[in-house]
A = this chain, B = another copy of it.
Amino acid sequence: MTYVVPRGFEMAGVACGIKKSGKDDLTLIHIPSGGVAAGVYTTNLVHAAPVTIDRARTPSANFRALVVNSGNANACTGERGMRDALEMCRLAGEAVGATAEQTLVMSTGIIGVFLPMEKIASGIAAATARLASDEAAFIAAAKGIMTTDAFMKVVSKQVEVAGSTVTLSGMCKGAGMIGPQMATMLAVMMTDANITPADARALLQRVADQSFNCISVEGHMSTNDTLLLLASGAASSAPLAGDDLLAFEKALLDACIELATQIPDDGEGATHLIEIEVRGTKSPKEARTIAQTIANSALVKTAITGGDPNWGRIVSAAGYAGVPFDPAGVDLTINGHPVYAQGSPLPFDPKTVSTSMKENRKTHLLLTLREGEESIRFWTSDLTVDYVRFNADYTT
């Protein structure tokens, strides 16, 4: 697979010493001729300074540079944290000849610790000197935002829209959601499509609701979660509209699902990616609520860890999601095997279902209600001994 940097972008990733390991910890993404930026952010009341800044500056018609550091989330750091985040923006803007207001900032890592601003400043200078538009620059940028991720999470797609080739390339990070050495989901989608700030904002929210808002590792919403869409507009002279805009939104959704599902697949200690499909609800929100409740059940997660087709845990989690439905209308399949229908247990061979769970990285649960026509897909990790070991490690 090759990664293509969309036209109009340059980027770099460097190590500036925030991480004790010496790994890359600062990424700079630049649109020299300026572009559009939109964002979707954590709804946690306790959110980090970069979230406050980016939320105020997006959607933007005049975006120039994004600076991201890993290793320190700049969260729960009060007024000094806000000053530091603003200073990161000022330094990044100055480095590329833009104003501070044309920049955005993201941070991920340990929380409650102040940023090492001298290291950040030298990192921005080093990244500026390395800005490039080739595959190596893309990979370096993707590595610069990683924390405890076991693997780099990227996507790169090209689609024909309105007679032009539009590139969609993105990167994200996330494993556990919060912690001394990890904190938070960050994602950046980059494209050369020409879209207006208003369209960017609206379609990004819709896409997020079916991709990044449909994943969880342990259900802990972080202080820094951010998804940005950056668009250089280089692919066409006029902004996309009508069916072309719809085609772009569909391509963006495909790319975001491909990117987002890499996060639970890399959940700390995860041995299974669990896809929970809920059908037959009155609204998409009801479907999401049921799917999320199942996804957050430690009993469901551990059953899948053990390859146990324990449908009672799944059905009962649906029952306490707070969504009204007729229990006598519920069907469930596990990896395509029907185990429960119309509210009653079905005879099935547990060994066959168990083997299919144990031999596949992905476990698919399909819960069908008889209340309506809406549906959702939701993805999560299983819960393993290694997850507990990792998160119980004393770190101070």
Contact = CB atoms under 8 A, between A and B. Distances in A.
Interface of A: 43-47, 75-78, 111-112, 176-180, 183, 218-223, 296-299, 302-303, 305-313, 315-320, 324-325, 327, 330, 340, 343-345, 350-351, 354, 383-385, 387-389, 391-396
Nearest to A326: B45
Contacts of A303: 391-392
Contacts of A47: 319
B395 A310 contact: yes
Contacts of A320: 43-46, 220-221
Contact of A345 (B46, B112, B218, B305): B112
B299 A391 contact: yes
Pairs of residues from A and B, 10 with the lowest C-beta to C-beta distance, nearest first: A46-B319, A350-B396, A306-B392, A302-B391, A221-B320, A111-B312, A218-B298, A305-B392, A45-B319, A44-B319
Looking at A176, A223, A313, A320, the one whose CB has the most chain B CB atoms below 10 A away is A320
Contact of A218 (B299, B308, B315, B385): B299
A391 B319 contact: no
Given A45-B327, A179-B313, A306-B391, 14 more contacts: A43-B320, A45-B320, A45-B325, A46-B315, A77-B344, A111-B316, A112-B312, A178-B312, A179-B310, A220-B297, A220-B298, A221-B316, A302-B388, A302-B392
Contacts of A388: 302, 305, 383-385, 387-388
A179 to B, nearest CB: 6
Contact of A317 (B75, B78, B183, B220): B220
A378 B193 CA distance: 51
Contacts of A327: 45-46
Contacts of A298: 218-220, 298, 383, 387, 391
A176 B383 CA distance: 15
A70 B325 CA distance: 29
Contact of A315 (B76, B306, B313, B383): B76
A177 B78 contact: no
B44 A308 contact: no
Nearest to A217: B298
Nearest to A346: B112
Contacts of A319: 44-47, 221, 223
Given A45-B327, A306-B391, A325-B45, A354 B318 contact: no
Contact of A309 (B309, B325, B343, B396): B396
A46 B318 contact: yes
Contacts of A112: 311-312, 345
Contacts of A219: 296-298
